[in-house]
Structure 1
């Protein structure tokens, strides 16, 4: 689904569907502050509308499954949940940087067309690793939409983790990409 969403929105917003990714790209100076804030507001509004639509179609299952709200699973500490969100978002945002790197486009002409594919795979792999820990947040807008529409105490108890973790992970990915990866000179053969 992420592959399809990024592909379909690439011509409109550059594929921005996640505030953490937008934040990482803003930190890397690939996006203006005004555009980043606007995107984040729209992403949150879209997630709220999406959660409301899901609830309206599947009310019984929605309530039974906790509205899709992210929570730290029993048996895991808040720090484990925060760590999972940081690492998961780092993987996602670093993949976005790698898949959309302008220097890479010069070497690999197919990259702009295929960029949504590795991004979708990254989200899939992060889900495999973090669903048992947090239900996989890595997108603060999605976490907000689910928590707001479900609106039960357990949806809000650890909600800060699903904002702080992704923003830290995105900042680390931006830092790593800008300082470490971009500093490595590429040699053409």
Structure 2
């Protein structure tokens, strides 16, 4: 009898750690508009994107101004990549518990497609992110106006020698890497019984941004974040900044959609589960 009790205890403990998929977010949730936590999340997204653009664009401008006089001066492409990846790590860590730490309309779009957030939350997050980006770049211009105008305002543009298809492909693949990492790092199944990879979510997300910047800065300056590209284009407001601006919206949204589909329907077997449920009901 004592042996039976000893065996039952770990079994109960094991069952308590079992995993159940959380229910999908409602498509339209009007109740969110009545909650302070929702507006607090919008403020968090606005401030986080503002800080992200302020630090990163200032880094880009500083590097270009230093390298004008010394080719070996400044932080270089590696330093710029670290600035973007490091800021994402810091800001996701700070805001994940409040808003989810999206700081990127492409990430928000991917999570919306996966039914992690409602349509209302997704749209207002994107608005807050774009406004934050505009304000962040506005601060950069206010503090360093001469350098800002002289060195391109940190705006994303297609580099010489690359066509639009190459730029679009770079943005699609780069955003896929980022959003795929977001899904993997924040997957609640990692804390369930079959998870063997404990992870601090902001760390791999920040590293994904860092690695993508290393690969695509020479091609597009690395967008992978429509708010980042939009904020810089609005404040710089130069014809060159708007010429291929569509790439920095279409590419990230396509990449985010592919990442959401791949993670939800292939890795998490969403399509197979749905088919199994249909057969069982039949």
TM-score of the two chains, using structure 2 as the length reference: 0.63
For 1:162, the equivalent position in structure 2 comes to: 248
CA distance in 2, matches of 1:24, 1:136: 19
SS of residue paired to 1:11: coil
CA distance in 1, matches of 2:197, 2:211: 26
CA distance in 1, matches of 2:203, 2:196: 15
Q: Does 1:105 align with 2:191?
A: yes
Mapping of residues 110-149 of structure 1, within 5 Å: 110-111=198-199, 114-149=200-235
CA distance in 2, matches of 1:5, 1:37: 20
Q: Does 1:84 align with 2:167?
A: no
- Structure whose CA Rg is larger: 2
Q: CA deviation at 1:105?
A: 2.2
SS of residue paired to 1:76: coil
Contact 2:216 2:222 in 1 (8 A): yes
Q: Does 1:93 align with 2:179?
A: yes
TM-score of the two chains, using structure 1 as the length reference: 0.94
Task: Specify every segment of 5 or more residues in structure 1 that has no aligned partner in the other structure, as ranges.
Answer: none
SS of residue paired to 2:96: helix
Q: CA deviation at 1:109?
A: 7.9
Match of 2:114 among 28, 39, 42: 28
Q: CA deviation at 1:103?
A: 1.1
1:86-135 deviations in Å (ceiling 9; x for gaps): 00000000000000011122125843xx1000000000000000000000
SS of residue paired to 1:12: coil
CA distance in 2, matches of 1:82, 1:105: 36
Bigger RCO of structures 1 and 2 (CA < 8 A, at least 6 apart):
1
Runs of 4 or more, structure 1, over 4 Å off, are none
For 2:145, the equivalent position in structure 1 comes to: 59
1:43-89 deviations in Å (ceiling 9; x for gaps): 00000000100111111221122111101000000100000000000
